[in-house]
Chains A and B, each alone.
Chain A
Amino acid sequence: MTVSQLHSKSAPKLRLKGVSKEFIAPRTGQRTLAVTDFNMDVQAGEFICVVGPSGCGKSTVMNMIAGLDTPTTGSIEMDGAKIQGPGAERGVMFQDYALFPWKTVRDNVGFGLRHGTAGRGLTSAESEDRINHFVELVGLKAAEGKFPHQLSGGMRQRVALARLLANGPDVLLMDEPLGALDAQTRLLLQVELLRIWGETGDAGDRKTVVFITHGIDEAVFLADRVVVMSSHPGRVSAVIDIDIPRPRGEHIRSEARFGQLTEEIWSLIRDEAYRAIA
């Protein structure tokens, strides 16, 4: 039973209805329709990947779900309530990690707890415990006193992940988090990501994830469903169910179904991607 079947009766965790975004250039007044008529339901505990050619508005959609930007038309709801702005319940992991360079690994992870809403109601001992838990979960206990500039790309990514999780968000929004890593590290971290997300555990305990990526194989490996976007203007062109059972190990990459799904998605994007480089 897939996650979608499990929760199909209950209200979606995230609902985007008729969302569009138009940008107006400040000096010239030029209007650009970045995203149009975007509809998407994300169930609680689902892992959704969004793929599409460059410039199709994936990041714009993510910014709107995060509350960093507001839709021109349409609505975005979480748990039935309209989103007003950014908040700790929708944690974000940015493409270049956005780690605070003047803080150590530990202080970065604990930043939201110290200064943000997630830390309210927690004693300092409880906060410390939480920070410890997540620093260990991502395997950075040995490096927790280091600064970001002393870390490798893979390590920085893990700090960003720990920081994201430490704030206890319901929804995890990730904008190409593995994009800056080399291909080998990326493969390893995909497996790690699923482990940390709790793939092996109870389906009900998992966080909802919206994950943007350029890598189609990455999307197929990670997601329950893949939302395929096309560009100019950005919109949903297809939603593909990934019926590969969990837990997923590295071996599934060599299985036939994996290749079929990857090809199916790529065929939807290929023409547009080609036009982008021509």
Chain B
Amino acid sequence: MPALMRRQDPSAAVSRSNSPSGNRASLDASPAIAARSGMRAAALHIWRAQWFVVIRAFAVFIALWGLAAYLVASPLQLPSPGKVFSAMVGLAEKGELLSHTLISASRLAVALGVATVIAVPLGFAMALSRELNAYIDPIVELLRPISGIAWIPLGLFIFGVGGTLPVFIMAYVAFFPLLLNTVDGVRGIDRKLLAAAETMGVGPRARMLHVVLPASMPSVMVGFRIAFASAWAAIIAAELIGSPSGLGFAIEWYRQLLMSPKVFSFIVLIGAVGYLCDLVLRALQRKLTPWSEGMGIGA
């Protein structure tokens, strides 16, 4: 009986069909022309490369910024890129960049930790028990529209000015996306996967551990990324209004001192830290849940 299954798997076939010599049509024989075309090909390759597009975009942006600063000619309102850069260097040397970043970041870590520890198990419980959901969901939905920001005045009264307020606000803000995404993740599990496990004689506890948990991981990770982004935005507000330290405090502090380049420096830092953390989270998401297609946040 011919072994039909012995053919190579499709992925191997696809890679074999790609021409190893690349996509460019073969060029003329003349070495001089070939050399010039080779250089042009290389230059074109760089021009199209991902990293170059990014650098180019930033270069243009900074150039336009410089131009605008020159035209506006108001160093208070729009400092030039050069001034901002030297302010950044100065702040870095004095260690201020690092200290404020660490303060904000550590608050964020604590807040996310607290939110995860409460929201994820609760989310699982609510998704698995209709009873529990009926009692808890209403109060979640009542509190959700009240943004974390609205809690700041009351929070200031309860916690006073300091580090606890930002942590509380951030934990509150991070809680909801984590909870909702966890519940969605568990509810959205393909029923067939559970049925398949049942038909293999897998008991309820094993099903929980080995089917429900992994299957809901992608949703939980998305929830975590959303929670992070929301918390990172909320910390600025919380620190700006009610904290004597951190990045949010710093931008307000230097504004009051009318030191614009430093204000801008910290704003750039806020963006950079947020962006880097999101990259890390994306990589984590890819590592932990390589099979999930929807990687974008969506909002």
Contact = CB atoms under 8 A, between A and B. Distances in A.
A101 B293 CA distance: 11
A100 B201 contact: no
A78 to B, nearest CB: 13
Nearest to B290: A147
B280 interface: no
Nearest to B11: A150
Given A92-B195, A94-B195, A150-B11, A100 B5 contact: no
B200 interface: yes
A206 to B, nearest CB: 16
Contact of B214 (A102, A112, A150, A188): A102
24 contacts: A66-B195, A66-B199, A67-B199, A68-B195, A86-B198, A86-B199, A87-B201, A88-B199, A88-B200, A88-B201, A90-B199, A94-B192, A102-B291, A111-B197, A111-B210, A112-B200, A115-B202, A115-B203, A116-B201, A138-B5, A142-B9, A147-B290, A152-B9, A200-B1
A92 B5 contact: no
A149 B291 contact: yes
Contacts, number: 100
Given A98-B190, A102-B217, A112-B202, A195 B1 contact: yes
B128 interface: no
A167 B195 contact: no
A117 B200 CA distance: 7
Interface string B97-130: 0000000000000000000000000000000000
Contacts of A85: 198
Nearest to A136: B5
Tell me if B's interface is mostly helix, strand, loop or mixed: helix
Interface string B267-299: 000000000000000000000011111000000
Nearest to A147: B291
B215 interface: yes
Nearest to B209: A115
Interface in B181-205: 190, 192-193, 195-203
Interface in B1-30: 1, 3-6, 8-12
Contacts of B193: 98, 100
B6 to A, nearest CB: 6
A191 B196 contact: no
Contact of A111 (B190, B195, B200): B200
Contacts of B214: 100, 102
A167 B291 contact: no
A155 B9 contact: yes
A59 B291 CA distance: 28
A34 B272 CA distance: 60
Interface of A: 66-68, 85-88, 90-92, 94, 96, 98, 100-102, 111-112, 115-118, 138-140, 142-143, 147-152, 155, 158, 163, 167, 188, 191-192, 195, 200
A132 B192 CA distance: 25
Given A87-B201, A115-B210, A98 B8 contact: no
Nearest to A149: B291
A67 B190 CA distance: 18
Interface in B157-214: 190, 192-193, 195-203, 206, 210-211, 214
A143 B9 contact: yes
Nearest to B5: A139
B9 A115 contact: no
B139 to A, nearest CB: 25
A98 B192 contact: yes
A140 B289 CA distance: 23
B4 A192 contact: yes
A139 B9 CA distance: 9
Nearest to A112: B200
A116 B217 contact: no
A-B pairs, top 6 by smallest CB distance, nearest first, are A139-B5, A117-B201, A112-B200, A88-B201, A116-B201, A101-B291
